[in-house]
Amino acid sequence: MTDETSAVAGRDYRHLPAAQKASVVRAVFDSVAPRYDLMNDLMSGGIHRWWKAEMVAALKPRPGQYLIDVAGGTGDVAIRALRKLVPDAAAGGGGAVVCDVNQHMIDIGRARALDRGILSGLEWLVAAAEHLPFADRSFDLYTTAFGLRNVTELEAALAEARRVLKPGGRFLCLEFTPEVAPLLQPLYDFYSFLIVPTLGQIVAGDRDAYTYLVESIRGFPRQSELAKLIADAGLEQVRYRNLTGGIAALHSAWRL
């Protein structure tokens, strides 16, 4: 274990103090970045790809719109949306910004996008969800997938989401939830606390990082609680839809 990843060892991550959370999250994602997408496939059996497809379908991006994908990691959500935002490179207009607090994730995402021939319409930025370096009312669309539970100040991140959205702008959050269907709970607990950390050790070489990722889910607000926080931030028409028995949920709202 490196000095960096040892920062996450031996802790209870479900109620991590705010003063410690930023450094722990940075250490976790520095450690897992090179194999993060592979681990997502292994942990979910590939179903996270369907969840993200559902997210972009619900978003309904249109040509010429601008999207910010916060805690966007390696950019898979933004890249899915980009096909709709900029359907014709020659036409110009529209695009997406992938914003993540972790430089390693951004570097990997940018390199993969270039390898796929994505040369325009997509920007990459290292910044925290609580402090986005954009003017008020800059974006038509705001997305975040599996990122909000890792921010230090959730309420501040949600307030920033509203601030950077234009009137009529759409907010979508895809996140794991602590409240799954009762019949799934025993199997889900077994898989989460035993199988996932073991996969993390075998594939990514870091059991503690994946223990954090599992326990951070259990400390996150339930679906209805998150919906209230989104509304309290000033976003409106807040709704959510459970996916795969509540293992994940898709929250939506508007800035009106």
CA–CA distance, 68 with 96 (Å, rounded to integer): 6
What's residue 91's pLDDT? 60
Inform me whether the pLDDT recorded for 239 exceeds 50.
yes
Hey, which of 17-21, 200-204, 215-219 has the most confident mean pLDDT? 215-219
The phi and psi torsions of 151 (rounded to 5 degrees) equal -75, 155
Asked whether the beta carbons of 173 and 250 are under 8 A apart, the reply is yes
* pLDDT tens for each residue of 51-99: 999 999 999 999 999 999 999 999 999 999 999 999 875 566 899 999 9
Question: What domains can be seen in the chain, in order of their start residue?
Answer: 14-255 (3.40.50.150)
Predicted confidence band of residue 17 (pLDDT cuts 50, 70, 90): low
Q: What is the mean pLDDT of residues 5-21?
A: 53
- Whether this prediction's pTM lies above 0.85 is answered by yes
Q: What is the mean pLDDT of residues 207-233?
A: 91
Structure tokens at 81: 């949306």
Instruction: Return the exposure string of 159-194: e unless at least 16 CB atoms fall within 10 Å of the residue's CB, then b.
Output: ebbbbbbeeebbbbbbbbbbbbeeeeeeebeeebee
* pLDDT tens for each residue of 156-192: 999 999 999 999 999 999 999 988 999 999 998 998 8
* pLDDT tens for each residue of 92-104: 689 999 999 999 9
Max Cα separation, the chain? 53
Q: What is the mean pLDDT of residues 116-129?
A: 94
* Phi-psi group of 4: left, alpha or beta (phi > 0 → left; psi -120 to 50 → alpha; rest → beta): alpha
Q: What is the mean pLDDT of residues 17-36?
A: 74
Inform me whether the pLDDT recorded for 13 exceeds 50.
no
Residues in the chain: 256
What's residue 4's pLDDT? 39
Inform me whether the pLDDT recorded for 10 exceeds 50.
no
